[in-house]
Structure 1
Amino acid sequence: MTTAAPHLIAAVSLSCIVTALTCNPLRAAEIDFLERFRGTWSGSGKVQREGASQPRQVTCSVTGSPAENRISAQGTCRAALIFSRPIGVDLVYDPRSGTYRGTYTGSRIGPAQLTGTRSGDAVNLRIEWPRPVNGDTQAAMVIRNDGQGMLRITVADNLTPGGPTQQTSELVLARR
């Protein structure tokens, strides 16, 4: 064996590691999923702001800007002449743990922390509100992107302390 052989083995090993990191089918699938959020989206839905209130019809527009291991979507929702609120989601994907973590903005009580995982076309997230909403600081959000130009965001919470969990918001957006 020549003295160049250890260097050749090291170069081949490094090449194998780089290929495994960049060409991993699971990582490629996640990159493809994140790209689904690129562009401008608009649509409508219903939002229930408080447990005792009736759901309000809203129209929303959002611009999605994915980056490596990240989804960022910012926009506005409006309810006729009643209110207009900036909304946004900023999620970072950790390929080691398969977990999404980030922030949701749009609640009048301030930004909420998000943590969850993807299953198929949906990212299932736990919301941690900065202050109690409907008696507690937790809710659930599902962001579903079918890859066919439809984006659905739902939030489920209990409307009374200790009460049953039910859907409190649903937005359905289409890519423009």
Structure 2
Amino acid sequence: MSTAALRPIAAAVMSCAIAALTWSSVQAAETDFLGRFRGTWSGSGQVQREGNSQPRQVTCSVTGNPSENRISAQGNCRAALIFSRPIGVDLAYDARSSTYRGTYTGARIGPARLSGTRNGDTVNLRIEWPRPVNGDMQASMVIRNDGRGTLRITVADNLTPGGPVQQTSEIVLARQ
């Protein structure tokens, strides 16, 4: 076979090798990021459930269990001695679409679907509630893990139908 005939084959092999290396490095970066969530976390913050209510101070503890392309974080939040609620996030990373998808548990209306992308230390997620919350079925969640032991979770939603989107909860956790 001539050298000219081998060039297209060599180009195809190189393209496949580059694609495989790129995919592997992206997957490795996500695996490293997900590893930041390993262990026990605790902290506090505020949660506002409805537009006419005052934010409640909560304390939370969560245990994160990452694997190669997913994270499961389960725990509970407590407001004074009034109530305690189990909370959790299960997210899987899809390298082909560069998206995270999963569920959030802890809302009084049941599990919500999550989907979004990561940019640096931050995962920006869209929440799809199973039933209307504050007049609609969507909100946003931002999960930021700085890699130095601080995990910040914020949720933004409109508190009145058609009202402005505002922060409805913020919880800051520290690795224990």
User: How far does the alpha carbon of each residue in 1:57-90 deviate from its partner, in whole angstroms, 9 at most, with x for none?
Assistant: 0000000000111010000000011110000000
Q: Cα distance, 1:25 vs. partner?
A: 2.1
1:121 equivalent in structure 2 = 121
1:54 equivalent in structure 2 = 54
Alpha-carbon distance in structure 2 between the residues aligned to 1:32 and 1:41: 18
* Correspondence 1:30 to 2:59: no
Counterpart mapping for 1:1-176 below 5 A: 20=20, 24-176=24-176
Q: CA RMSD in A?
A: 1.9
Contact preservation (8 Å) 2:23, 2:95: no
Q: Cα distance, 1:29 vs. partner?
A: 1.1
Q: Percent identity?
A: 81
Contact preservation (8 Å) 2:51, 2:160: yes
Alpha-carbon distance in structure 1 between the residues aligned to 2:129 and 2:173: 24
Change (3 A) 1:24 1:165: same
Alpha-carbon distance in structure 1 between the residues aligned to 2:152 and 2:110: 22
Alpha-carbon distance in structure 1 between the residues aligned to 2:26 and 2:112: 29
Q: Cα distance, 1:24 vs. partner?
A: 2.6
Write the letter of the residue equivalent to 2:138. Q
Could you list the runs of 4 or more consecutive aligned residues of structure 1 that deviate by over 6 angstroms after TM superposition? none
User: How far does the alpha carbon of each residue in 1:116-171 deviate from its partner, in whole angstroms, 9 at most, with x for none?
Assistant: 00011000000000000000000000000000000000000001111100000000
Alpha-carbon distance in structure 2 between the residues aligned to 1:162 and 1:33: 36
Q: Cα distance, 1:26 vs. partner?
A: 1.9
Counterpart of 1:29 in 2: which secondary structure? Answer: helix
Q: Which runs of 5+ in 1 are unaligned?
A: 2-12
| TM norm structure 1 | 0.88
Alpha-carbon distance in structure 1 between the residues aligned to 2:34 and 2:174: 16
Write the letter of the residue equivalent to 2:35. E
Counterpart of 2:161 in 1: which secondary structure? Answer: coil
Change (3 A) 1:158 1:29: same
Contact preservation (8 Å) 2:151, 2:172: yes
Contact preservation (8 Å) 2:40, 2:62: yes
Q: Which runs of 5+ in 2 are unaligned?
A: 2-12
Counterpart of 2:34 in 1: which secondary structure? Answer: helix
